[in-house]
Each structure stands twice: as structure tokens, then as C-alpha cells.
Amino acid sequence: MHARLLLATISASFSGLYLGYDYGVIGGFFTLPISKEYFQWPNDTAKGFIASSYVLGGLLSCMMGGYVVDIIGRRMALIITGGFALVGGLLQTVAVNLAMIYAGRFISGLAVGVANVAGPLYIAEIAPKRWRGALGYAIEYSIGVGIVFAAVVSYGVYFIEGQASFRVLLAMQMVPAFFVAVGMWLSPASPRWLLYKGRSEEARHSLARLHGLPVDSAQVSEELAAIQKATEVDHQSAQSEWRSLIEDGMWRRLLIACGAGALMQLSGINALIYYSPDIFRMAGITEVTKQLALSIATSVANLVGASVGIAIVDRYGRRTILVSGGLLMGISLVVISILIGIHGNGEELETAVGYGVLAMECLYMTAFAFSWAAIVWIYVAEIFPQHVRGKALTIAFIMSWICNFCVSQITPLLLTSIGWGTFAILGGICILGSVWEYFVFPETKQKSFEQIDAMFRERHHRKH
């Protein structure tokens, strides 16, 4: 792999790093005593909006992300989102009131919503065939690295006195954003996008730069011809109408896609990431340094799960992984609810119980990372034919962001009002979701797109 191709891939994957950091940083922010003392959020609703304002920005930008990356290109979209993330991070770092925190988080969310679309697209379009699978996981894996990074920084800044602690914590999110903006500025545009826009000569030069080859080399000409043929199909896809998603049984696939995207968030993953220290406090681990240290452990478990996902994604069936992972998540959450509920919901608990909760949360994080996080978007992309795939993914993404916003906003209210019952509800959702996936999701492993499409069409016609 040429150095320039590697630089471009790493730069684009850093969009996942600042997404992961933004997810993980909020738990540390909530845990630092100086944060509450300085910003004085009045209630759980105001606290929840610190987390969900970021998700709201992501939801709004996700709705137009597909159009943005098609109009200005994947590379330029990543450069601009890196700039937005820098502005959002800076605003949070210098914030003197809650309004500035909300605004900064919202702007960072705007950046992530578009980067979620642009980053994977850019990597998929520049990656050689033999590297596409591994490079496609680069962003998912960097999200896990970002969450670990946030947990480690949160622990470190606790030992800094005064406002500097939370300001350093919030400022660090600008580091990956800076690398995205600069790295993408130094990288060439996607050859596929350039061809799609009719800029064939620029596409040739871009492809040559990525592979470190002369512009007139046979390999560049051959790959350019293959991309040109593929873009003709893409043009047909762009001309398809939205009503195609509900015609000829396609609505069943859309229901699966939206349900899968919703379940990812309703499983409580971001609730556990955002409010992990609060959960450990409920479990009787009241020392703040221990809460922050244990948050590192759960974030590492998430990263381990992502590594497992890479190893098993093509070895076992999609449905098998989704169902088994969902059941493990549900069991973990139910056990957490039992441990906290039986031993007093918020009272000082024995150390063994607190670390039992830690073990179950680590199991949950690992299971989520290798199953629903690793498989859902692969599965959703596989079940739609080319001409509606982009539109279907957009709707599924929107559904996922909506559920993310709801969970982020209501979790602190639930933890305060029903305590251990929160985990029982989330666990029930995971278990019921797994049962639904088992009976509704057909297996797609080792099937071509054409075979998958034929399988769904046959199922539709069999029911009519």
C-alpha cells in the first residue's frame, strides 16, 4: 500500500476518532466535580441536553449528509467537518455558561453527522479490492480508540486543579479534528466521485497519486475504466425515486433497516458510555478516581469487541452474530439491574457487587462491539439493491440518530427516578430485539447482492 493511500485512509478514519472521543468525553465531564460546580446545571433534563445537544446536531446534519458529500465531494466534506469540529471543540473549551456548552456540542454534532457519511464513503472509494474489507473497519475501530482515549484523558485531568481540568478534557477533542482537516487537505479527492462529476482527467491524476504510479500507467487506466463502468450504475441509482422504497415489497427491507438502526441505540449503548461513572456510583463505587478508572476498563472492552468483530464478521452468519450478541447484551443488563436492585439502588454496596456490575458492563460492551456495532450497517447495506441503497441507508441513519437523541436525553431522568429499572428495560429491549432479528432477518452470509435481492423478492411473492 502506497504511503499516500495510507495517509488518506488514516486521515479519513480520524473522523471516527473524534466521534468516539465526543461520545466518551461527556462521561468524564459529568464526573468532574468542578464541572457541576462551575456550570450549575439545574436538573437532569439540563444535564441530559449536554449529551443530547450533540446528538441533535448529528441528526440534523445526517439528514443532508448524503447530499453534501455528493455535491462538494467526500474529501472537501471531511475538511469542512474537521473545521466544524474544531469550532465546536473550541467553543466548549472556552465556555463560561451552559448555553456555550450546548452550542459547542451541537456544532460538533453537525460535524459528526456529515463525517459519518463522508468518511466511510471516501475510504471505500479509494481502497483497493484486496484491502477494502480491512480498511472499511478503520473508522469503526477508530471510534473504539476514541472512546478509550476519552476515558484515559478523563482520568488524567481529574488530578488537575480548577477549571483547567474540564477545559483540557474538552480541548483534546480538537486534536483528531485537526488531523482530519489537515490530513484530508493533503490527500487527493476520491477518483470515483471525480468521475461521477465528469472530471475524468482529475480522476486519473488522483488515482495515480494514491497508488504512487505514473499518470499514464496501464494499472491506472485499467482501474479508471472499471470505476467508469461502476459510476454508470451509480447514475441510475441517483435517478431512482423515493417511492421505490415502498414498492414491490421493498418496505419490508426498510422496516428491517430502520428497526436495526433503532435497536442499536435503544440497546442503551450510549447511555452506558455517557453515564458510565453514574452507573458505577449506583453500584456503590463512590470514589471518583475509581469510577474514571473503571470507565477505562469498559472502553477497552468495547475495543476488544471491535477486534473480535473484525475476526468473525465473515466467518459466522450475520444473523447468528446479531442474535447471540443481543442476547449477551440483554443478559448483562438484566444482571446489572438485579445486582443494583437487590442491594439497595444507590446505597453503599459491597465491593464485590460493584465489580460484578463492572464485569457485566464489560461483557455488554464487548458483545455490542462484535455484534450490533459491527454487523448492523453491513447487513443493512447488503439487503438493498444498488438503486435504492443510498436512500435506504439515509433513512436508517436518521432513525438511529432519533433514538440516540431520545436515549441520551431521558437516561439521567430514568437513572434518578427508577434506578435499577433502567437496566431492566434496556435489557428487555435487547432480548426482544434479538428474538425479532432471529425470526425476521434472513441470513445473507456468502450471498451476492443479486442472490440477496432474489431471496427477498421470493419471500415477498410467497406472502402474496
CATH number, domain 244-464, options 3.40.50.720, 3.40.1160.10, 1.20.1250.20, 1.10.10.60: 1.20.1250.20
Residue range 70-113, pLDDT digits in tens? 788 889 999 999 999 999 999 999 999 999 999 999 999 999 98
DSSP 80-141: HHHHHHHHHHHHHHT--SHHHHHHHHHHHHHHHHHHHHHHHHHHHHHS-GGGHHHHHTHHHH
Cell 466521534: give the residue.
19
| Region 231-247 average pLDDT | 64
Taking the C-alpha atoms of residue 224 and residue 220, their distance in angstroms, rounded to an integer, is 6
Taking the C-alpha atoms of residue 156 and residue 173, their distance in angstroms, rounded to an integer, is 15
The amino acid at 319: R
3-state secondary structure of 268: coil
Taking 70 as the threshold, does the pLDDT of residue 444 lie above it? yes
| Region 442-447 average pLDDT | 81
Answer whether 124's CB lies under 8 Å from 378's CB: no
Tell which residue, 272, 449, 262, 435, has the closest CA to residue 363: 272
pLDDT at 363: 96
Taking 50 as the threshold, does the pLDDT of residue 347 lie above it? no
Cell 482529475: give the residue.
202
Higher pLDDT, 262 or 287: 262
pLDDT at 102: 96
CA 323 to mean position of chain CA atoms: 20
Q: How confident is the model at residue 236 (pLDDT cuts 50, 70, 90)?
A: low
Taking the C-alpha atoms of residue 191 and residue 172, their distance in angstroms, rounded to an integer, is 33
Backbone angles phi, psi at 385, to 5 degrees: -70, 160
User: In whole numbers, what is the pLDDT of the chain averaged over residues?
Assistant: 85
For residue 428, give every residue at least 6 positions away whose Cβ sits within 8 Å of its Cβ, in sequence order, or none: 330, 334
The reported pTM is: 0.83
Answer whether 403's CB lies under 8 Å from 464's CB: no
C-alpha cell at 237: 441509482
CATH number, domain 1-187, options 2.40.30.10, 1.10.260.30, 3.30.465.10, 1.20.1250.20: 1.20.1250.20
Taking the C-alpha atoms of residue 138 and residue 180, their distance in angstroms, rounded to an integer, is 14
Residue range 333-345, pLDDT digits in tens? 999 999 888 775 4
Percent of the chain with pLDDT over 90: 36
As a residue count, the chain comes to: 464
| Region 416-423 average pLDDT | 89
Cα atoms in the Cβ-side hemisphere of radius 13 Å centred on 117: 33
Cell 459510476: give the residue.
231
Higher pLDDT, 227 or 405: 405
pLDDT at 346: 45
Answer whether 364's CB lies under 8 Å from 332's CB: yes
pLDDT at 69: 83
Q: Where are the domains of the chain?
A: 1-187, 244-464
3-state secondary structure of 224: helix
Question: Same topology for domains 1-187 and 244-464, yes or no?
Answer: yes
Answer whether 230's CB lies under 8 Å from 192's CB: yes
